[in-house]
Structure 1
Amino acid sequence: MFAAYVTVTSLTIVANAAGAYADFTGHEAVGAIADRLGVPRSWMVRLGALMGAGALGLLAGFAVPALGTAAACGLVLYFLGAIGAHLRVRDHDLAGALTMLALAGVSLVLGVAQHGVW
């Protein structure tokens, strides 16, 4: 169980750090998605900061499990919001957001299974 927790959580950290980097640098693919969803590009740095904070929280969760649990919860909520933004404009290209939601959700479940809720 511990190996699965570390593996999935590490993958979630890397994926969210990469997403945050793309948001911070204004990567065109991220900008195109924002345009499609009607999200102002000026929000991308703030959204990237949330993803980055989630990645850092998951990383800190290896030492302080409560931080990891809180970060995983926050990322689950973040990606539920992202899916909602896609559905709001009837954009059914949900693969990226669903993948990130699954990673965050599995990290949360495995973390709670490994350490308990708090």
Structure 2
Amino acid sequence: MTSVLLIATVSCAAANVSAAIADFVRAPFVLANSAEVRVPPGAVPYLAALKLAGAVGLVVGLVAFFVGAVLVHVRARVFHNIAFPGGFLLLAVAATVHFASGR
């Protein structure tokens, strides 16, 4: 997985968490946009939950991918370059902790 893909995925997850929070607090711009496209206000929390689930799925998917990458390196006893998947795994875990803490 390239650094660009990692950055894009984490950025996408962060954007979706931000949007979900705006939906949950019923930010005026969210309600205005929803009304403009004829989405009833009662549907907004459900859409927020879907956005949040998507963000969690992106981050959890990243963690699972890099856990697998590290395990494959260990199984093959190829340690000279394990720092790369290990470093990406640490970034993915850090992003997961960050999103889970709600900060």
* TMscore range, shorter length: 0.5 to 0.7
Alpha-carbon offset, residue 2 of structure 1: 1.6
Give 1:63 shift.
Answer: 1.8
Alpha-carbon deviation of 1:64?
2.0
Kindly name which structure, 1 or 2, has the bigger radius of gyration based on alpha carbons.
2
Aligned position for 1:58:
58
Matches within 5 A, 1:1-118: 2-65=2-65
TM-score normalised to the size of structure 1? 0.53
2:95 corresponding residue in structure 1: none
Residue type of the alignment partner of 1:44: V
Amino acid paired to 2:12: T
Q: Distance in 1 between matches of 2:3 and 2:34?
A: 36
Letter matched to residue 25 of structure 1: V
Letter of the 1:22 counterpart: A
TM-score by length of 2: 0.60
**Cα deviation per residue 1:30-54 (whole Å; 9 max; x = unaligned)?**
0000111111011000000000000
- State the distance in 2 between where 1:2 and 1:60 align: 17
CA distance in 2, matches of 1:39, 1:17: 20
Q: Which runs of 5+ in 1 are unaligned?
A: 66-118
Structure 1 runs of 4+ aligned residues shifted over 2 Å read: none
Alignment size in residue pairs: 65
What's the RMSD between the two structures over aligned residues?
A: 1.0
Amino acid at match of 2:11: L
Percent identity, please. 32
Unaligned runs of 5+ in 2: 66-103
